Amino acid sequence: MPGQPPTGSAPGFDDHFERAGANIFRLETLQSYRNSGEDQALAAFQAGHPHLITPGKRAWVALIRDRTAAGCAMQRVHVVREPITDYLRFELTWGYQPNVEAGEDIRIVRLAPGDRWPVELPQGTDFWLFDFSVLYALRYGQDGTWLAAEDVTEPTAIEQACHWREAALRLAMPWRRYLDVHPDLARIVPLGKPRAS
């Protein structure tokens, strides 16, 4: 899931967020996500309401804070195709700001109009990679609806995910630098204390 681990995942999936010792990495390649546990906050964003933090998001931010304080790096790269979708406008502002404040390293691979997808990265392939050795592929429907997390144990697939991680981090810019390029987004990044649901 974009902001937090998905519900209804493969057995043992959630445990890896607590078990990982060195690194937790997420690659996001879709431009819109549905049924991701963010529907309430997304609706508030689209309606122009004040910044909303749901209980699930609050728990996720606490996990980021705890894990990074314990020395486990949490990293995320999103390949963002411009012009951005309405969903990405939400994620790049309301979604990512609390995560970054809690210690997550979020970066953006920017694809301006006309740019080709980077050959070093998979298209339409999202995953979580824990400690460079445990891989979960994330499955979505054509419209970005969450389906499942699949435990991938093939060594070659895990090795490929590690290469994708390295390439994504190399190609990406920090989230805050992306906002510098997009002052229209920077203006709607939440400031102050969010309201709780």
Give domain status of residue 2, yes or no: no
Give domain status of residue 9, yes or no: no
Q: State how many domains the chain has.
A: 1
User: Taking the model in full, what pTM does it have?
Assistant: 0.92
Shortest CA distance to 29 belongs to which of 90, 80, 69? 80
Q: HEC states along 20-46?
A: CCCEEEEEECCCCCECCCCHHHHHHHH
- Domain enclosing residue 110, as ranges: 15-196
The predicted structure's pLDDT at residue 197: 44
The predicted structure's pLDDT at residue 1: 42
Say which CATH number the domain at 25 has: 3.30.870.10
Give domain status of residue 10, yes or no: no
Give domain status of residue 50, yes or no: yes
The predicted structure's pLDDT at residue 183: 93
The predicted structure's pLDDT at residue 192: 53
Task: Kindly state the helix (H) or strand (E) to which residue 157 belongs, with its residue range.
Answer: helix 155-171
Query: Residue 87 in contact with residue 42, Cβ under 8 Å?
Result: yes
Give domain status of residue 133, yes or no: yes
Strand 23-28 relative to strand 126-130, pairing: antiparallel
Give domain status of residue 117, yes or no: yes
Give domain status of residue 1, yes or no: no
The predicted structure's pLDDT at residue 7: 55
Give domain status of residue 162, yes or no: yes
Q: Which residues of the chain have pLDDT under 70?
A: 1-9, 192-197
The predicted structure's pLDDT at residue 37: 79
The predicted structure's pLDDT at residue 156: 98
First and final C-alpha spacing in the chain:
20
